[in-house]
Structure 1
């Protein structure tokens, strides 16, 4: 299966065209990645690349932080629609972490656990200060912070997929390709939902 670059490029362009609200959500995005685990060694003749391994390792940390964010909604008085979305994110990304860990172990690569979000900073992930602010917010203030933060978070995941397919030879192993494209499809749709929910919140 070949990489679906046009779909991802369209998704990225669509997100970047989202206007001022999206631009503000992008501010402070940390594009660095703190490496974890042993050096990545790719066996000769492997169907995957170093970029594939880095993508899976980084996306585990990325998903793990999204789950932490989502679990805050229950305790912080999120409105029913935001709570429903947060539960969907939680329920979908937990099994996806298992898929990525299994993929890495299948190829003899280091598989980070869900605590890795503390030490890895991928595109769109919230800073420690942003997580603290979200955890102490309540009601409508939480709803707004969650939606803005998760829009940024999802946009970062989509960029990670775009970067994967730009790397030479990457994204061609079948399972990695399918998973990466599924991330784009699901998270692009959820960004649309979150933008709509933002417009329904009371004004500041």
Structure 2
């Protein structure tokens, strides 16, 4: 079907050139004069020209889309750092399973967003080992260095409670970023960007509800006597 559309468009492109020559319009000459046609293009060259023009139209992006992808890469990267503490610091199987699910999902989304930026010749942000993007502006839900350190130092039930509390904060920040994107005029008209943002919104809202239930089910913290 894709090849058919290309050939169909090429027919109109070639037909337009021939019609221009026959009617004497454009720069080829006037009626009664022998036109001087331009150098002939092969079918392969015409197809390459067609592909280049359609790709150019398809790859036009809104600045808000680029900012969203760039920011969400850093946002996801911090979630990977947070989740990476769970196998050694967490006490509950549910928390460790949730952390593993977050790592698998958000690693794939980071790679997807990086490729989206590369395909559109946009810079891809560098992310350090703490999940902070170099020169990145503050984004909703991001943990402060102190919060991240507290999470890394926590063990057992204390870790589970902090992890769920902080990850709820983190997820809600990501949802806010999606809302901001959708509220921006002209943004998210790119089908790929729209679908990714929509998926992130649905997934993270669902996970927030699950984490709230998990948090409520944890034993109450012990009080010092």
TM-score interval, normalised by the smaller of the two chains: 0.7 to 0.9
Measure, in 1, the Cα distance between the counterparts of 2:148 and 2:59. 38
Q: Which residue of 2 aligns with 1:124?
A: 141
Write the deviation string for residues 152-185 of structure 1: whole angstroms up to 9, x where unpaired. 0000000000000111100110100000000011
Q: Which residue of 2 aligns with 1:200?
A: 217
Match of 2:122 among 86, 103, 109: 109
- How many residue pairs get aligned? The number is 162
The list of structure 1 runs, each at least 4 consecutive aligned residues, that deviate by more than 3 angstroms after superposition, is: 43-47
Residues 88-167 of structure 1: matches in 2 within 5 Å? 88-115=101-128, 117-119=132-134, 120=136, 121-167=138-184
1:81 aligns with 2:98: no
Contact 1:104–1:110, Cα closer than 8 Å, also in 2: yes
Structure 1 unaligned residues grouped into runs of 5+: 1-42
Contact 2:69–2:113, Cα closer than 8 Å, also in 1: yes
Which protein is bigger by CA-based radius of gyration?
A: 2
Measure, in 2, the Cα distance between the counterparts of 1:105 and 1:125. 25
Which one scores higher on RCO, CA 8 angstroms, separation ≥ 6?
Answer: 1
Post-superposition offset of 1:118: 4.8
Structure 2 unaligned residues grouped into runs of 5+: 1-55
Measure, in 1, the Cα distance between the counterparts of 2:58 and 2:194. 18
TM-score normalized by the length of structure 2: 0.69
Write the deviation string for residues 2-46 of structure 1: whole angstroms up to 9, x where unpaired. xxxxxxxxxxxxxxxxxxxxxxxxxxxxxxxxxxxxxxxxx9996
Measure, in 1, the Cα distance between the counterparts of 2:92 and 2:127. 27
**C-alpha RMSD over aligned residues:** 1.6
